[in-house]
Chains A and B, each alone.
Chain A
Amino acid sequence: MAIYLVGRVLGGLVTLFCVSALAFFATALAPGNPAAVLLGNLATPERIAAVTHEMGLDQPLPVRYAIWLRHTVTGNLGTSNLSFKPVNDLILAALPPTLELAILSLLLVVVVAIPMGLVLAQGRDRWWARPLSGLVTLGISVPGFWVGLLLIVLFSVTFKLLPSGGYIAPARSLSGNARAMVLPVLTLAIYLIPALVRFVRVTAATVLREDYVDTARAKGVGNAGILLRHVAPNTLITTITYIGLQLGVLISGAIVVEIIFSIPGLGRLGMNAVLNRDYPVIQGVVLVAAAGYVIVNLAIDLAYSMIDPRIRTR
C-alpha cells in the first residue's frame, strides 16, 4: 500500500514538473522581448537593455528556469508584466469564482446525468429511449458556448430575468451571486451532461448483463430495486474515475464560460494574459490549473484504491 501511495504521488509530481517546464519554456521561447513590450514604442534601446537586465531576461535560459523554479516551489509566482501586481494575489482573487462555477456545475451534472444514464440503460426498449438517446447525441454535437449564447438571448435579452454576465461575491450579496451564477452553471452543465449520460448508459448496460442481476431478478427484485441496489453501486466506481478523467474538459469548459459571462476567474485571467503576452501570469494560471487536475485525480486514485484493494496490486 505504502509503495503504491508513494508511486502515485511521485507520478503526480513528475507530471507537474513536466507541465511547469513546458509552461516556462513555451513562454520564455516566445518571440518578442517582454521588456520592450512593457516599455512601449517610445522606449530608447538603452532603457530597454536596462529593464531587460533588471528583469533577469539577459541571463541564460537554464539559469532563468532554475531561478523561476526556485521561486515557484517556494510559492512565489512572480509579478505581472501588465499590472505589476504579484501573480499570487491575482490568482487568489480569481480562484473563488472559478471554483464556485466548477463545483456547482459538477454537482448539477452528477445529479442529472447519473440517474438519466441508469434509467436509459434499463429502459432501452421503451418508447422514450430512442428520442432521449437522440437528444443525447444532439447534445454532444452542439457547441457548449453556443448554448450559453442562446441562454443569454432567452433569459437576459427576451425575458430580462437574469444578468447576461458579471460576478458578485457571495459575501457581498448571496442572492446577487445566485442570480449571476444561474446561466453560467447551466451552460457548463449542459455542455458536460450528454457525455456523462452516454458513459453511464454504456457502463450500466454492461452491468445489467451480469449474472447477479439475473439472480436478483429471479429472486423477485423489482426494476427499481435492481437499478438502485445492484446496478447503481457497480456503475458508480467506474463513473467516478471517468469524471476524474473528464476534469480537463471541465476546466476547458469553465474557461470558455468565464469568457462568455465575463466572470473574473482563472480562465479570464489566463486569456487576458495570453492576448497581452503577460508571461508570468500565463505560467501561473497554467501551473495552478494543472496542479488542480493532478491533485484531484490523485485523490480519486487513492480513494479508489481504498474502496477496491485489487487496484493496489495491479
Chain B
Amino acid sequence: MSAMPAQDQTAKAMPAARRRRGGAMLGYLVRRSPVAVALVALFLFAAAFGPWLAPHSMTDTNLSQALLPPNATNWLGTDQLGRDVLSRLLGSAGVAAKAFLIVVLIGGIFGTLLGLVAGGLGGFFDLLISRVTEILQGFPTVLVAIVVVALLNPSLTNAMIAVGLAAVPDFARVARGVAIQLRDREFVEAARGLGAGEMRILLREVLPNMIGPLIIIASFDGAQAIMWEAALSFLGLGVQPPAPSFGSMLREAQNLLAIQPSLAITIGITVSAIVLGLNLLGDALSDYYDQGNR
C-alpha cells in the first residue's frame, strides 16, 4: 500500500520476539524517541477529547467573522465561512483516528489471517494467497477508491475500505514470514504431537509470536491511512463538507491559496506532524523488537 520500502519494514519486523511487559516497552520508546511519543500522545488526546476540547462549534458558520487571522478567541484564525480552524482541526483528528482504526482493522484481520494460512499451511494456499496479495499490493489505491466509491458512496468508511484493502498485503507478508519461520519449531511440533489441529496451532502457538511485527506494520500503515484520508477527502471521495477532516479542510483551503495561504499551511503541518509521529514510532518499535531479539 505504502510508499514505504517494503523490504525495510519487513526486514526489521521479521524477528519474532516474545512479548514483554508493556511498561518496559513504553519506557524504551520514551527514551528512544520522545518526539514520536509526544506527537502520537497529543494526537490520541486530541482525537479522543476533541469535541470537548474544541473552543467553538466545528460547523457553525459566521460570515462576519470570516478569514480572521489568529487572535485571542480563534487561536488559529477562522476559515472562509467564519468557522474556528482550531476546533475543526480537533474534529479532523478524530476523523484521522477513525481512518487509522478502519484501515488497521481491515488490513490487520484479513492480512494476518491470509498470511497465517499461507505461511502455516504452505503449498497451494501459499501460492494462491501470495499471487492475490501481490496483485493487491501494487494496484493504485486511488483506482480502488474510485471503484469502491462508485459502487457505494463517497464517505470516510468507504474510502478507508479501499485503503484497508491496500494494507492487507503488508500484514499478510509479515504474518506469512513469521509463520514460515515458526511452523517447524519445537514448541509447534510439541503442540502437534499433543494432537492440536493445524488451525488451532496457528492461532494459539504462532499468532502470539507475531504481535510485535504486526504492531510495527500497524504503526506505519496507520500513518499511511491518515495520509490517504487527507488525499481521498481532498479529492472528494471521502469525508464530505461541511464535516471537518484534514482532507476536506485542505480542499476548501485550496481555493483560498491566493487570499489566505496560512490556512492550507496550518492544516498541512498538523497532518504532517501526526504522520511523522507515527512513522518515528514505527521506527522506534522496530528497534525495540530488534534489540529484544539479540
Q: Which residues of A approach B to under 8 Å, CB–CB?
A: 11, 15, 18-19, 22-23, 26-27, 29-30, 137-138, 140-146, 149-150, 152-153, 157, 164, 191-192, 194-195, 198-199, 202-203, 242, 244-249, 251-252, 255-256, 259-260, 267, 270-271, 274-275, 277, 279, 282, 285-286, 289-290, 293, 297
Contacts and interface: CB of A to CB of B under 8 A. Distances in A.
Interface of B: 2-8, 11, 131, 135, 137-143, 146-152, 223, 227, 230-231, 234-237, 250, 253-254, 257-258, 261, 264-265, 267-268, 271-272, 275-276, 279-280, 283
B257 A251 contact: no
Contact of A195 (B4, B227, B261): B4
DSSP class of B's interface residues: helix, strand, loop or mixed? Answer: helix
B276 A252 contact: no
B24 to A, nearest CB: 25
B271 A143 contact: yes
Given A141-B272, A157-B261, A202 B11 contact: yes
Nearest to B138: A248
B230 A137 contact: no
30 contacts: A19-B139, A26-B148, A138-B276, A140-B3, A140-B4, A143-B231, A143-B275, A146-B268, A149-B253, A153-B261, A157-B258, A191-B3, A199-B8, A202-B5, A246-B3, A246-B138, A248-B140, A248-B141, A249-B140, A251-B142, A252-B143, A255-B140, A255-B235, A256-B142, A259-B234, A274-B150, A275-B236, A286-B147, A289-B140, A290-B143
Contacts of A293: 138-140
DSSP class of A's interface residues: helix, strand, loop or mixed? Answer: helix
A261 B279 CA distance: 28
Contacts of B142: 251-252, 255-256, 267
Given A157-B258, A245-B138, A145 B8 contact: no
Contacts of A141: 223, 272, 275-276, 279
A249 B139 CA distance: 8
B248 to A, nearest CB: 13
A22 B139 CA distance: 13
Given A195-B3, A249-B140, A146 B150 contact: no
Nearest to A260: B254
Contact of B3 (A192, A277, A289): A192
B244 to A, nearest CB: 16
Contacts of B230: 143, 145-146
Nearest to A18: B135
A146 B235 contact: no
Contacts of A279: 150
B139 to A, nearest CB: 5
Given A143-B268, A248-B141, A137 B150 contact: no
A245 to B, nearest CB: 5
Contacts of B7: 199, 202-203, 242
Contacts of B250: 145-146, 149
Given A150-B268, A293-B139, A286 B279 contact: no
Given A137-B280, A143-B231, A146-B268, A247 B5 contact: no
Nearest to B11: A202
B279 A252 contact: no
Contacts of A138: 272, 276
A198 B5 contact: yes
